[in-house]
Structure 1
Amino acid sequence: MDHIVTLDSRQEAALQTIADQFIAQHKGDAVKALKEMIVLNGHLQERLGAVEGRRRARD
């Protein structure tokens, strides 16, 4: 893990709402929702890596 994020109570409440909605989309199956989130995070990490690679190539 690169860094730890600290949330205030408002941000925590908003994140909880989004998490609840995401789990509800998976019919209450938290494990299935977590697996999808891991896959989505992997795709985003790949895209960020590609962008960072292009930036380094220009510099």
Structure 2
Amino acid sequence: MDHIVMLDSRQEAALQAVADRFIARHKGDAGKALKEMIVLNGHLQERLDAVEGRRRRGPPE
């Protein structure tokens, strides 16, 4: 883990609400919801890595 994020009580409540909706979307199966979140995060990380790579190389010629 690169860094730890600290949340205030308002942010924690908002995050909990989103998590509850995401789990409800998976019919209460927290394991299934977690697996989907891992896959989604993997896709997002790949896209971020690609953007970072383009920034380091500079604009296409």
TM over 0.5: yes
Distance 2:42 2:25 in 1: 20
Normalised TM-score (structure 2) = 0.94
**What is the DSSP-based 3-state SS (H/G/I as helix, E as strand, rest coil) of the residue aligned with 1:23?**
helix
What is the one-letter code of the residue matched to 2:50? A
CA shift digits 1:12-34 (9 cap, x unpaired) = 00000000000000000000000
**Is 1:56 the counterpart of 2:51 in the alignment?**
no
Indicate the RMSD between aligned Cα atoms, in angstroms: 1.0
What is the one-letter code of the residue matched to 1:12? E
Higher helix share: 1
Q: Which residue in 2 is equivalent to 1:17?
A: 17
Normalised TM-score (structure 1) = 0.97
Which structure 2 residue ranges, 5 or more long, are not aligned?
A: none
Q: Percent identity?
A: 83
Which structure 1 residue ranges, 5 or more long, are not aligned?
A: none
